Structure formats: structure tokens, C-alpha cells
């Protein structure tokens, strides 16, 4: 969080530096005082025990001093805090802002660009924003949950906001630098909480538009070879009960949308990089990669596993 690369993270960062400076100052003063007192007034030897030190019961003036000074410091902190809260929470989004619906599931993220009609999982693509002027283009994220509470947290881009079922939350990010940023689900959500990872890919506006255009095209059904067999196997098995593939009868909503599977960097919400090998292992038995996840071992024949993997590899 000390390498902020977006407007919100920078605002939090600068407020944090003020707080850190104040607390560090207090720490140094008080701990030096503590060390000084402990050293200065230590028992010097057995002869020290003969006479008790002067008995002091208190002093109103001193008490007043160390009440008023902390109150003043706390007032400063309160002002910094209130200002930053207001700036972040009451930020108005410009009309050109990208809008994303992010829905938490046990243990993956559903990503929906409703305006563009794009559905994907575990990966947000957003355009890089300029600090001011025409190129300023933040992204507003609407947060929902399908089951239990999750939390959105990409430290370099934004602080946490929870995804609470039956409650509509929102946050926004406005990255100033390109790159891939990592986040975790930050509210304990069950067995595989640890492997509910999120990536935010920040691109040039042109690249972002290109990505949007690609994502809008439904995948073509393969006509020949192993992939075609896999296509058949995919629709004959129960895959379609949970997964969606655009332009087909596969319309399940319990698992991630697979229409553009191969555009993603990882599998299983970040449990492994997405490669033909990991994909095959996943189709073979997801439980070996991600114990406890809700996709069961489908007990497919080896030939079916190969074919379905080949089909899935065409989804891009």
C-alpha cells in the first residue's frame, strides 16, 4: 500500500503518511521518556532500600498538560480522517467512467460489464486514467455477493470494500499506471478464502477498447478434430448446468462464464496460471488443484478429458 498507483490509493497514502508521522513522533517521545525514567530511577544498590523515595501522589497541572496535548493531537487526526473519508466516499463519477459489476462467489469473482455486455471472471480490465483533463477515466465498481461476505482489496489501487449479500456497495479505482495488479478476497469466506484472488489489468485506452471488442464476439464452435469431439462431450456432460458459453445452450450461472476462458491469466481464481496442462488437470479433477471448491470431480474418461480440454482451449 506504500506504492500507490491510483487516485484513491494515493489519497489514502498521503493521509497515512500524516498519521504515521504523528504516531512515530509520539512513539519516539514516549519511549525515550520511558527509557530515561527506567534508567534514571533504577535501584542503585542495597543501600537504596533503606530509605523510601519521596511519596508523590499526583499533580493537577501535569495531569492537565498530558490530557490537553493528546486532545490537540487527536483533533488534528480527526480533521485529516474526516476530510479523506469525505473525498473518497463522496467522489462523483464522470459520465465516461467505466462501470463494472463485481459479484463475489465462494471462491471466485464474477465480472460483468453490463453496458458492454461482457461477462468474465477473476480479472478486471480497465483503462489507465490521466490525472486531469480529457483522459481522466475512473472505473466505478458495483459490489454484490451471491453467497457470503467477501471483500474487494487491491492494495495498490484501492482500500477494502466488502461484497455483502443483500446489500449494494460500491467503490472506484482510478489507476495512473499500466500493469497487472494483484488483490485477494479480504473477508474470510470459507474453505478456499485463500485462493480467491483477483487481478486488475490496467491498459492503454486503445488496448482496453480492443479487449472490449474481442470480448464481445461469441466464440466459434470448432468443427473438426479433437476440439469438436470435446465440444460434443462438453454439451453431453453436465458442464452446461453450471457454466455459460455465449451463443450456445450452455447457460449455467453457478460457475464462471467460460465464453472467453482463454483470455484469462489464471485458473481457479488464481490458484494456478492458465496453461493447457493446468486446464487439463482442472478438468480431470478440480479438487487436486483447489481442495473444497464447488466443482466436483466429474469422473470423466481420459479421452473425454483430452477432448474437453482441447475444446476449452478454443474459447478465446
Partner 1 sequence: MTPQTADDNFEIPPPEAIGHERGSLTRIVQELVFTVDHKKLGLMYIASGLLFFVVAGLMASLIRIQLAVPRNNFLEPDVFNRLFTMHGTAMVFFVGMPMLFGFANYLIPLMVGARDMAFPRLNAFGFWVFFFSGLLLFFSYLGAPGLYAAGSAPDVGWFAYSPLTAKAFSRGHSTDYWTLSILLGGIGSIATSINIIVTALCLRCKGMILGRMPLFVWIYLVVAFLIIIAIPPLSACQIMLILDRYFGAHFFDTQAGGSAVLWQHFFWIFGHPEVYILMLPGFAIASEVIPVFSRKPIFGYPVMVAASVLIAFISLGVWAHHMFAVGMTSIGNTFFAISTLLVAVPTGIKIFNWIGTMYGGKLRFELPMLFCLAFLFQFLIAGLTGVMLGVAPFDWQLTDSYFVVAHFHYVLIGGLLFTIFSGIYYWYPKALGKMPNFKLGLLHFLLFMAGFHITFFPQHISGFLGMPRRIYTYDAGRGWDLWNLISSLGVILQAAGILFFVINLIYSYVKGGKAGDDPWDAWTLEWAASSPPPDYNFETLPEVRSRRPLWDLKHPDDPDWKYE
Query: According to CB under 8 A, which residues from 46 to 65 bind partner 1?
Result: 48-49, 52-59, 62-63
By CB under 8 A, residue 92 contacts partner 1: no
Report residue 290 CA to chain centroid gap.
Answer: 19
Footprint (CB under 8 A) of partner 1, residues 156-215: 156, 158-162, 164-167, 169-170, 182-195, 197
Region near partner 1 per CB under 8 A, out of 24-32, 128-136, 221-229, 244-252: 24-32
Scored b (16 or more CB within 10 A) or e, 246-285 reads: bebebebeebbbbbbbeebebbbbbbbebeeebbbbbbbe
- Smallest gap from Cβ 72 to partner 1, in A, equals 10
- Smallest separation, CB 90 to partner 1 (Å): 6
Q: How far is the CB of 259 from partner 1 (least distance, A)?
A: 27
Residues 137-156 that bind partner 1 (CB under 8 A): 143, 147-149, 151, 153, 155-156
Please report whether residue 28 would count as binding partner 1 according to CB under 8 A: no
- Cell digits for 46? 542495597
Which range of residues in 19-27, 119-127, 210-218, 234-242 is near partner 1 by CB under 8 A?
A: 19-27
Mapping DSSP to helix (H, G, I), strand (E, B) and coil, where does residue 288 land? helix
The answer to whether the CB of 295 falls within 8 A of the CB of 242 is yes
What CA dihedral angle connects 286, 200, 255 and 316, to 10 degrees? -90
Which residue in 6, 106, 129, 244 binds partner 1 (CB under 8 A)?
106
Integer Cα distance of 101 and 275 in angstroms: 27
Q: Under the phi-then-psi rule, with left for phi > 0, alpha for psi from -120 to 50, and beta for the rest, what region is 82? A: alpha
Closest separation in Å from C-beta 191 to partner 1 = 5
Instruction: Report if residue 101 touches partner 1, rule: CB under 8 A.
Output: no
Sorted by sequence, the CB contacts under 8 Å of residue 97 that are 6+ apart come out as 137, 138, 139, 140, 172
- Smallest separation, CB 307 to partner 1 (Å): 30
Amino acid at each position: 500500500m506504500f506504492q500507490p498507483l491510483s487516485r484513491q490509493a494515493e489519497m489514502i497514502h498521503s493521509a497515512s503518511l500524516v498519521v504515521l508521522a504523528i504516531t512515530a513522533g509520539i512513539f519516539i517521545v514516549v519511549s525515550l521518556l520511558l527509557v530515561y525514567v527506567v534508567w534514571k530511577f533504577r535501584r542503585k544498590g542495597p543501600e537504596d532500600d533503606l530509605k523510601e523515595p519521596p511519596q508523590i501522589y499526583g499533580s493537577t497541572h501535569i495531569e492537565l498538560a498530558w490530557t490537553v496535548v493528546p486532545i490537540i493531537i487527536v483533533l488534528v487526526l480527526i480533521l485529516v480522517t474526516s476530510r479523506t473519508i469525505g473525498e473518497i466516499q463522496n467522489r462523483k463519477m464522470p459520465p465516461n467512467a467505466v462501470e463494472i459489476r463485481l459479484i463475489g462467489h465462494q471462491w471466485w469473482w464474477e465480472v460483468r460489464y453490463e453496458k458492454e455486455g461482457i461477462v468474465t471472471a477473476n480479472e478486471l480490465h480497465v483503462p489507465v486514467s490521466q490525472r486531469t483533463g480529457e483522459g481522466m477515466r475512473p472505473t466505478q465498481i458495483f459490489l454484490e455477493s451471491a453467497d457470503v461476505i467477501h471483500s474487494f482489496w487491491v492494495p495498490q489501487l484501492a482500500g477494502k470494500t466488502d461484497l455483502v449479500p443483500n446489500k449494494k456497495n460500491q467503490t472506484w479505482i482510478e489507476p495512473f499506471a499500466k500493469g497487472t495488479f494483484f488483490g485477494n478476497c479480504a473477508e474470510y469466506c470459507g474453505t478456499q478464502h485463500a485462493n480467491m484472488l483477483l487481478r486488475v489489468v490496467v491498459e492503454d485506452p486503445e488496448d482496453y477498447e480492443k479487449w472490449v471488442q474481442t470480448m464481445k464476439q461469441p466464440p466459434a464452435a470448432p468443427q473438426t478434430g479433437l476440439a469438436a469431439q470435446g465440444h460434443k462431450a462438453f454439451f453431453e456432460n453436465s458442464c452446461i448446468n453450471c457454466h455459460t458459453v455465449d451463443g450456445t445452450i450452455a447457460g449455467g450461472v453457478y460457475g464462471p462464464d467460460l465464453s472467453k476462458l482463454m483470455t484469462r491469466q489464471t485458473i481457479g481464481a488464481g490458484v494456478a496460471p492458465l496453461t493447457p496442462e493446468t486446464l487439463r488437470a482442472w478438468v480431470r479433477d478440480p479438487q487436486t488443484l483447489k481442495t473444497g471448491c464447488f466443482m466436483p470431480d466429474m469422473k470423466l474418461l481420459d479421452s473425454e478429458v483430452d477432448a474437453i480440454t482441447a475444446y476449452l482451449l478454443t474459447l478465446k
